[in-house]
């Protein structure tokens, strides 16, 4: 299978040495440190390991699994072993998603450099792969799994085993027929391109071919005009269809002659449909496309709860890795619980539990390093301060010295603001959220007084010597406020002034009632609510909560009963306009899928502009009882087919999935619903459903869609295969329903929607439970959205 990637792999000396293999020490903890033989396989894309050179090897990871490679000094674990192993010999392999890092120690600095540089070289190559190269790599990975004796070729028994691994249930005689047709060398085995041809025979898409032939006069190609017709009629591209057709042919037509003749083959048509241009997610919503100049309280803010934890809330590990992962996935509000530590250094952990402890200064240094790697927009440090006065001073020192210019320590222009600044104004700034001794107005008054005192002192230094003597014998009277400050310092208040001064726009205050907040609080003061309290307020006074969140920031955090670090559904809180809905980002599942789905848009920058009716302090919107004038919509989704669906448990070679698709809507309570297709028995490779689901949504601006593929299992209520979640407003839409699809089973009222104004053929690229790509696993759908509800004549 080497030939599949040959000529494209970026081979260098480091990669060649990695392919020879090397003995390194694998480190899991201070007590678990074992020698293992790691080797990059000949395909250049997978790393295997064994207990020793020549020993029985097994797959360790694929290059596509790797996000980056870090040096030894960046690993908490390797730093703790610095006396035992030189940090220069250590390195860390960081994986996508929530997979644990792999810490390794080489026998020399040179060997560590070989692996660090070689791995990063290959990771950069994989990241820059185009669609065809990614498919070739995926095939190469499968070939490695199927080639049990690792001789570089596949016999028919090995192919049969591979078909089961790939979720294909096939008649043995037909499988042999395809095998023999692909075996052009007549060697009785499949190698390189022969395996590719076998795969192509397996993955023919009759449902795509039908669409293609509906527009192709000769059934072999789409001329430029035919492709323009398809884009205009089916994908609703309108005026830009002509220019777009040429652009797409040049991008996706595999043959040079086809590009020259301006025609699109079936392979090119399929490549287009499977690309980002044919994705269900509208490409226009991928970059930063929203207005970023509105006040902070007008945005949903991607927020993390107890960010330092990478496990449960009682005995879990505290690690700076929690901050790295949260910030790199786009979180803009991270939480820090600080307590008095040994030797005068504050520590971070979940108080009164058995969770491990990390130094506060390490957390601050990590935030400084990773805050703006994913997004330039502001990071909020939500401090839960439990320290004594002395260690609060140390906290303030670390924040100012380590963060430096990144830390916002005064208002942007030194003047009293009338509203919160915007994400745009706060680019690359870190804000402290926490308790504060006094108001922002008092802070600014003090700053003015200090400036006056400073100018007086400057004048005094330039005065005559006798005047200096007079000042020495006659101490100057301090202003009443300065007197109070001196007195406060002697009595050592619970809140340290130097730490208090770092809280500018995000002063934490207790919530009493919406009326109390309106009458006594200022726009820069923010309250936190437990999920239980917030949900109760939504039911009791939903509209008041919406109006509150239109002028002040709110933070919601998970119930203290969630000791397993489980999550709550953030949608209910977003419906009321709550901005910082803090999640246990270390825990994968439905709730994090919803959170990731919302923040997938707008460049993944961590800020999403709330709908206008949640930004109006006089809004009449009630999340529990939404009424007009919201623009209700009807959604019609035909779930057509699935492609290359993976197994949940790869160890069950003989089992093949029975997939079904469930479409879930999350939004206001009346809109929240789900529907599913029937299941297809024993076919995860190319199942066909052809079933239509319909939904009626009152408030589309707040709705998210989640497409879930499950393996039917009546005992366990189905096993998860993959999912994809996106905002309703970010769906890519297109043209009228073709009669071939309109005739498929559907609720009677929708059979007449052949003139539906928005629809299109789209692929949904599935993600794992961890949020990582399951490429090339997809589901193929046809989407139609129409204004108004079913039966609505308006």
Q: What is the pLDDT of residue 187?
A: 92
pLDDT over 80 at 569, yes or no: yes
Identify the domain boundary among 128, 163, 180.
Answer: 128
Closest among 532, 526, 520 to 573, alpha carbons compared: 532
Position 460 scores a pLDDT of: 56
Count other Cβ atoms within 10 Å, centred on residue 342. Answer: 8
What CATH number does the domain containing 606 carry?
Answer: 3.20.20.190
**Number of neighbouring beta carbons within 10 Å of residue 376:** 18
pLDDT at 744 over 70: no
Confidence of residue 746 (pLDDT cuts 50, 70, 90): very low
Which of 154, 185, 203 is the C-terminal boundary of a domain?
203
pLDDT, one tens digit per residue, over 652-676 is: 666 789 999 999 999 999 999 999 9
Q: Do 775 and 644 fall within a single domain? A: yes
pLDDT at 540: 96
Q: Are residues 403 and 540 in the same domain?
A: yes
Residue 268 belongs to a domain with what CATH number?
1.10.238.10
Domain membership of residue 590 (yes or no) is yes
Residues 123 and 138 in one domain: no
- Does residue 752 have a pLDDT over 80? no
Higher pLDDT, 365 or 650: 365
Verify that 242 and 366 share a domain, yes or no. no
3-class secondary structure per residue, 668-685: CHHHCEEEECCCCCCCCC
Q: What pLDDT sits at residue 786? A: 85
The mean per-residue pLDDT over the stretch 722-740 comes to: 72
Q: Which CATH number belongs to the domain containing residue 22 in this structure? A: 2.30.29.30
The verdict on residue 624 lying in a domain is no
Q: What local confidence, expressed as pLDDT, does residue 457 receive?
A: 63
User: What confidence category does residue 478 fall into, taking pLDDT thresholds of 50, 70 and 90?
Assistant: very low
Q: Rounded to 5 degrees, what angle do the CA atoms 690, 694, 697 make?
A: 150
* Length of the chain (residues): 794
d(CA 767, CA 744) in angstroms, rounded, equals 28
Give a yes or no: residue 643 inside a domain: yes
pLDDT at 37 over 90: yes
Lowest mean pLDDT, pick from 48-62, 292-306, 504-518, 543-557: 48-62
If one compares 790 and 732, the residue with the highest pLDDT of the two is: 732
Q: Are residues 645 and 598 in the same domain?
A: no
Pair 597, 690 in one domain:
no
Position 742 scores a pLDDT of: 36
Residue 265 lies in a domain: yes
Question: What is the mean predicted confidence (pLDDT) over 226-255?
Answer: 92
CB 640 within 8 A of CB 688: yes
Task: Spell out the residues 6+ positions from residue 561 whose beta carbon is closer than 8 angstroms to its own.
Answer: none
Whether 396 and 390 have beta carbons less than 8 Å apart is answered as no
Residue 446 resides in a domain: no
Q: Of the listed 121, 164, 298, 305, which one is catalytic?
A: 305
Which pLDDT tens digit goes with each residue over 422-443?
Answer: 999 999 999 999 999 988 888 8
Does 478 fall in a domain? no
User: What is the pLDDT of the chain when averaged over all its residues?
Assistant: 87
- On whether both 169 and 120 belong to a single domain, the answer is no
Assess whether pLDDT exceeds 90 at residue 594.
Answer: yes
Please indicate, yes or no, if residue 474 is contained in any of the structural domains: no
CA distance 457 to 452: 9
Please indicate whether residue 305 is annotated as part of the active site.
Answer: yes
Give the active site residue among 73, 96, 262, 350: 350
Q: What is the pLDDT of residue 790?
A: 59
Mean pLDDT of 604-616: 97
> Are 560 and 707 members of one domain?
no
Widest pairwise Cα distance in the chain? 111
Whether residues 589 and 676 fall in one domain: no
Same domain, residue pair 359 and 503: yes
Phi, psi of 460, rounded to the nearest 5 degrees: -65, -40
What does the alpha-carbon distance between residue 658 and residue 709 come to, in Å, rounded to a whole number?
10
**Within-domain flag for 506:** yes
CA 27 – CA 38 distance, rounded (Å): 13
Same domain, residue pair 67 and 121: yes
- Structure confidence at residue 312 (pLDDT): 87
Of 614, 641, 666, the residue at which a domain comes to its end is 614
Structural domain for 641, as ranges: 633-738+749-787
Identify whether residues 433 and 407 lie together within a single domain.
yes
Provide the H-helix boundaries in 234-359.
241-252, 256-261, 266-273, 320-328
Ranked by mean pLDDT, the top range of 35-44, 312-321, 533-542, 767-776 is: 533-542
pLDDT cut 70: percent of the chain above it = 88
Considering its fold, how many domains does the chain have in total? 5
Backbone angles phi, psi at 179, to 5 degrees: -60, -50
Span 626-655, mean pLDDT? 81
User: Is the per-residue pLDDT at 789 higher than 70?
Assistant: no
Spatial neighbors of 543 by CB under 8 A, at least 6 apart, are 619, 620, 621, 622
């Amino acid at each position: 299978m080497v030939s599949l990637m040959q000529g494209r792999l970026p081979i260098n000396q480091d990669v060649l040495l990695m392919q020879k293999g090397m003995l390194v020490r694998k480190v899991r903890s201070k007590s678990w440190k074992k020698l293992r033989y790691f080797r990059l396989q000949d395909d250049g894309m997978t790393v295997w390991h064994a207990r020793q050179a020549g020993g029985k090897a097994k797959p360790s990871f694929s290059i596509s699994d790797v996000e980056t490679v870090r040096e030894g000094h960046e690993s908490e674990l390797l730093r703790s072993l610095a006396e035992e192993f030189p940090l220069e010999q250590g390195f860390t392999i960081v994986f996508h998603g929530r997979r644990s890092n792999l810490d390794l120690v080489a026998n020399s600095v040179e060997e560590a450099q070989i692996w660090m540089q070689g791995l990063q070289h290959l990771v950069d190559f994989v990241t820059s792969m185009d669609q065809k190269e990614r498919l070739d790599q995926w095939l190469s990975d499968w070939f490695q799994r199927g080639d049990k004796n690792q001789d570089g070729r596949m016999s028919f028994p090995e192919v049969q085993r591979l078909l089961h691994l790939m979720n294909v249930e096939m008649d043995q005689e037909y499988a042999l027929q395809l095998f023999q047709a692909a075996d052009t060398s007549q060697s009785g085995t499949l190698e390189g391109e022969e395996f590719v041809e076998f795969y192509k025979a397996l993955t023919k898409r009759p449902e795509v071919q039908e669409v293609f032939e509906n527009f192709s006069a000769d059934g072999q190609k789409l001329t430029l005009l035919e492709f323009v017709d398809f884009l205009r009629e089916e994908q609703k591209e309108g005026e830009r269809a002509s220019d777009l057709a040429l652009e797409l042919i040049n991008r996706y037509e595999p043959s040079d002659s086809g590009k020259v003749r301006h025609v699109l083959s079936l392979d090119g048509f399929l490549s287009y449909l499977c690309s980002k241009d044919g994705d269900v997610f509208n490409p226009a919503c991928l970059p930063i496309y929203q207005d970023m100049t509105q006040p902070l309280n007008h945005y949903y803010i991607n927020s993390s709860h107890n960010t330092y934890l990478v496990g449960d809330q009682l005995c879990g590990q505290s690690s700076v890795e929690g901050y790295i992962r949260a910030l790199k996935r786009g979180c803009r509000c991270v939480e820090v619980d600080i307590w008095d530590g040994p030797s005068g250094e504050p520590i971070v952990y979940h108080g009164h539990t058995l969770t491990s402890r990390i130094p506060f200064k390490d957390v601050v240094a990590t935030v400084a390093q990773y805050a703006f790697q994913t997004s330039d927009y502001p990071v909020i440090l939500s401090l839960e301060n439990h320290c004594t006065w002395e260690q609060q001073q140390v906290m303030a020192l670390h924040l100012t010295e380590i963060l430096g210019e990144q830390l916002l320590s005064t208002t942007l222009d030194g003047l009293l603001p009338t509203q919160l600044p915007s994400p745009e104004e706060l680019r690359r700034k870190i804000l402290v959220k926490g308790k504060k001794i006094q108001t922002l107005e008092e802070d600014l008054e003090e700053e003015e007084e200090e400036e006056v005192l400073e100018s007086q002192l400057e004048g005094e230094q330039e005065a005559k010597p006798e005047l200096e003597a007079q000042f020495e014998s006659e101490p100057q009277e301090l202003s009443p406020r300065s007197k109070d400050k001196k007195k406060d310092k002697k009595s050592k208040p619970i809140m340290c002034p130097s730490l208090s001064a770092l809280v500018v726009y995000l002063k934490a205050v207790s919530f009493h009632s919406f009326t109390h907040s309106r009458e006594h609080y200022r726009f820069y003061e923010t309250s936190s609510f437990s999920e239980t309290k917030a949900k109760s307020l939504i039911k009791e006074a939903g509209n008041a909560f919406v109006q509150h969140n239109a002028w002040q920031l709110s933070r919601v955090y998970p119930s203290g009963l969630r000791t397993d670090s489980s999550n709550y559904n953030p949608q209910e809180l977003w419906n009321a306009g709550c901005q910082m809905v803090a999640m246990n980002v270390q825990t994968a599942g439905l709730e994090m899928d919803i959170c990731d789905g919302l923040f997938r848009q707008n460049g993944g920058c961590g800020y999403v502009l709330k709908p206008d009716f949640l930004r109006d302090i006089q809004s009449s919107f009630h999340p529990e009882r939404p009424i007009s004038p919201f623009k209700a919509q009807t959604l019609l989704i035909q779930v057509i087919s699935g492609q290359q669906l993976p197994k949940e448990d790869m160890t069950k070679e003989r089992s093949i999935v029975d997939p079904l698709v469930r479409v879930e809507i999350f939004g206001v309570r009346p809109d929240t619903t789900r529907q599913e297709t029937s299941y297809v028995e024993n076919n995860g490779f190319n199942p066909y459903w052809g079933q239509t689901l319909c939904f009626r949504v009152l408030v589309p601006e707040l709705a998210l869609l989640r497409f879930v593929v499950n393996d039917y299992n009546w005992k366990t209520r189905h096993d998860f295969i993959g999912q994809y979640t996106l905002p309703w407003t970010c769906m890519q839409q297109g043209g009228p329903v073709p009669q071939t699809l309109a005739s498929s089973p559907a609720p009677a009222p929708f059979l007449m929607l052949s003139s539906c104004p928005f629809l299109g053929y789209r692929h949904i690229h599935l993600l794992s439970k961890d949020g990582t790509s399951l490429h090339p696993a997809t589901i193929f759908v046809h989407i139609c959205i129409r204004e108004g509800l079913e039966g609505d004549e308006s």
